[in-house]
Structure 1
């Protein structure tokens, strides 16, 4: 599923004075799409830097390689904060969010209020989910021991299992799930199935990271500018509507 984007024109040169800033990103639709070179996060970043007089240059890399490339100072920044892996770098204000959720078919009528409700269910999660959540949600890790089955796999495969009724509960970001489900269900019998999200996890806000303090300052200034002029909410609304988010 593609979403029309302004990123293409925003990523083109603004003027001879515009500074190009290279930013490490990874393929993760609908936030970052390597094929279209757009996505919610990329569109926001492009407009933020344009508002600050810069030009964004997204560099698509696998997650770990992106971090290593940033550490080696081969790129100016990352769309994600990696803490002590970038000693001496600076962090921007939060510009976007993930919505980690438990997801199930609405017709299953699961009354999921906590991780304990995973008991006896077939649970599928994105690769590395247990390791990722363990420091913040130890109860989640404990609850998985009571699940009827637990597996971590590619998000596309987990989504297909859910669409086919072979997985009870999925653990992933809500928007990534909607994008994947829509892309997989085009023209088949599962297109009309409705899913419910259970936000037992907290919203995960993300900020960018740069080596130069002036880049962080300019980023924050640009972010404030597009929030003030309405472009920030317009981008988020565009993707929410395309995904059917909140319906």
Structure 2
């Protein structure tokens, strides 16, 4: 009986240890519509949950509202098992998955201005507002087109909402940035006279991707396998389509 009791205790402890090991704490971001500032909603969180649904060996715990710096730092110090939205240039201790989170940078103009923006070169001479670091992210052709050194023509702004407001109020000719983030910014401007259908979208740039990062290679491998199945199922593109539909009028 003592041996049986001891065996039961050992087995129970093993189950508890295994359950703890299978729980992965994933740090997520804080910018909508990809990450909900208030919790674990948003497109990128939905993608993470969808992929992890195909990884039943792991219990997912999302830790929200983390800046890009905190995400990398928490992964490197072991506070998090994984982190979302990690770019290739980020200095991390661990592994990166295949590209997961898609960004679609576009140029946006007001339809009533009827501006021609058919190529990156067409941005030259126009008043352009964009996000911080855009010249690095969007490459030399963009930097050359906007690189006049004139602050009246080219401005990098701290917040997407500032870009949307500048374009809507006629303080800029073109806003350059992620399509989904721009549409969300228009939606929360709080001005019913400004609608998404008043703007023309110019797809000048190729899509870019950020990654999941994990402390252990086996988790990257498992995530990549599940991500492939998730894409093949059509659910990945469906989430993007649902989000875009919700942002447009």
Q: TM-score range by the shorter chain?
A: 0.7 to 0.9
Larger radius of gyration: 2
Shift of 1:84: 6.2
Q: Normalising by structure 2, what TM-score?
A: 0.80
Secondary structure of 1:51's aligned partner: coil
Secondary structure of 1:190's aligned partner: coil
* Alignment partner of 2:29 out of 7, 26, 30: 26
Deviations 1:60-94 (A, max 9, x none): 3111222222222221122224456124x222222
CA spacing shift, 1:69–1:36, aligned 2, 3 Å: closer
Residue 145 in 1 paired to residue 147 in 2?
yes
Residue 62 in 1 paired to residue 67 in 2?
yes
Query: Could you say which residue in structure 2 is the equivalent of 1:216?
Result: 220
In the aligned structure 2, how far is the partner of 1:72 from the partner of 1:82? 19
Q: How does 1:94-243 map to 2 (within 5 A)?
A: 94-133=99-138, 137-146=139-148, 148-153=152-157, 154-185=159-190, 188-191=192-195, 193-243=197-247
In the aligned structure 1, how far is the partner of 2:238 from the partner of 2:166? 33
Instruction: Answer whether contact 1:52 1:221 (CA < 8 A) is retained.
Output: no
CA spacing shift, 1:172–1:43, aligned 2, 3 Å: same
CA spacing shift, 1:68–1:17, aligned 2, 3 Å: closer
Give the superposed CA RMSD.
2.3
Instruction: Answer whether contact 1:49 1:218 (CA < 8 A) is retained.
Output: no
**Runs of 5+ consecutive residues of structure 2 not aligned to the other structure:** 1-18
Deviations 1:103-124 (A, max 9, x none): 1112222221223222221111
Instruction: Answer whether contact 2:186 2:196 (CA < 8 A) is retained.
Output: no
In the aligned structure 2, how far is the partner of 1:229 from the partner of 1:121? 43
Farther off after superposition, 78-87 or 28-37:
78-87
Farther off after superposition, 163-172 or 235-244:
235-244
Secondary structure of 2:221's aligned partner: helix
Query: Could you say which residue in structure 2 is the equivalent of 1:10?
Result: none
Deviations 1:212-246 (A, max 9, x none): 122112212222333344432332222121122xx
Q: Normalising by structure 1, what TM-score?
A: 0.81
* Alignment partner of 2:47 out of 44, 49, 68: 44
Deviations 1:154-207 (A, max 9, x none): 211111111112211111101100111112145x21236521222222110222
Aligned length: 225
In the aligned structure 2, how far is the partner of 1:177 from the partner of 1:221? 32
